[in-house]
């Protein structure tokens, strides 16, 4: 039987590390937001991994505009922006559903639940 060389051991360990890291999910709000969400009122909110979004709750009727881009800052703040800047908004991240339901300037996101602007959404994908 051949002895395993140092290169082989490093290669096997590297491959295992990649598999383990790939299998682990992320709890970062920016990753949890990605997907399609629907409310009880059938309002649909979408967040794409390229930073684009559909957020009807940001609609500004005076300008016929709603947010179409989003970013999540390092502190967890969700910033929504529109092309012309008339439908921009931001929401602070909170740790519980109750906090987000009580304060419409905050949001809460988990694997299956998004609460933003005082409205609850469930993931559809």
List per-residue pLDDT tens for the chain, 125 residues long: 456 676 656 555 555 444 444 434 457 877 999 999 999 999 989 999 999 998 876 766 655 777 888 999 999 999 988 887 756 889 999 999 999 999 999 999 999 999 999 999 999 96
- CATH for 100: 2.40.128
Residue 3 counted as domain residue: no
* Total domains in the fold of the chain: 1
Residue 5 counted as domain residue: no
Residue 105 counted as domain residue: yes
Residue 20 counted as domain residue: no
Residue 90 counted as domain residue: yes
Residue 4 counted as domain residue: no
Reduced 3-state DSSP string for 59-98: EECCCCEEEEEEEECCCCCEEEECCCCCCCEEEEECCCHH
Which residues does 17 contact at the CB level (< 8 Å), separation at least 6?
Answer: none
Residue 19 counted as domain residue: no
Residue 89 counted as domain residue: yes
Overall pTM > 0.85 = no
């Amino acid at each position: 039987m051949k002895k395993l060389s140092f290169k082989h051991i490093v290669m096997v360990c590297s491959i295992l590390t990649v598999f383990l890291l790939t299998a682990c999910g992320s709890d970062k709000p920016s990753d949890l937001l990605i997907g399609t969400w629907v409310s009880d009122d059938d309002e649909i909110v979408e967040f794409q991994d390229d930073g684009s979004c559909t957020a009807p709750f940001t609609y500004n009727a005076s300008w016929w505009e709603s947010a179409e881009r989003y970013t999540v800052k390092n502190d967890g703040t969700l910033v929504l922006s529109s092309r012309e800047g008339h439908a921009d908004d931001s929401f602070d991240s909170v740790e519980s559903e109750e906090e987000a339901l009580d304060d419409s300037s905050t949001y809460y996101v988990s694997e299956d639940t998004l609460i933003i602007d005082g409205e609850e959404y469930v993931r559809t994908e």
